[in-house]
Amino acid sequence: METIDYGGWRFFHNEKATFDDNKVGKWMYFFSGKEGRDFAEKKCKDAVETSIVGEAKRSDSTDTGVACFYLNIDDLEGHKRIISFFIQNQMIRRTKTGKLYDISFKLDNQTMAGKYGSNFTASLKLSQLLDLETGEWKF
């Protein structure tokens, strides 16, 4: 695994990671504080070292930040690996009733086009892959 610090980010990369520029995107984990950043870094390393994903990164911020876990949008087995990893590590918030929040997968070309907040429409949401109440996969 290679680690690179660049432009406010720490990247974790596995030499086997290859992506299609038109399909690559990320599941995101948002954090706050130094403990959150340290946790995000550990999870990025774990995900790359165990080949759950080929690449991950986390922002340098100790206030609020994000960790991104990359794969192609059409990699169903990859989505299963990373979402299972997120659930096992409590990286997806839950409602008071225990239901998972319907987080979004974001394509890199959406990020490059400046699609954020109300200008962003997810190409893939967690609810399309699994039942948010039971955690059962839909495929």
Q: Per-domain residue ranges for the chain?
A: 2-92
CA dihedral 68, 70, 73, 78 (to 10 degrees): -110
108 by Cβ neighbours in 10 Å (0-12 / 13-18 / 19+) ranks as middle
pLDDT digits (tens, 9 = 90+) for 71-104: 999 999 999 999 999 999 999 999 999 999 999 9
Q: What is the pTM of this model?
A: 0.94
CA-based R_g, the chain, Å: 14
Q: Are 86 and 26 in contact (CB under 8 A)?
A: no
**Domain 2-92 superfamily per CATH:** RNA Cap, Translation Initiation Factor Eif4e (3.30.760.10)
129 by Cβ neighbours in 10 Å (0-12 / 13-18 / 19+) ranks as middle
Whether pLDDT at 139 is above 90: no
DSSP code of residue 117: G
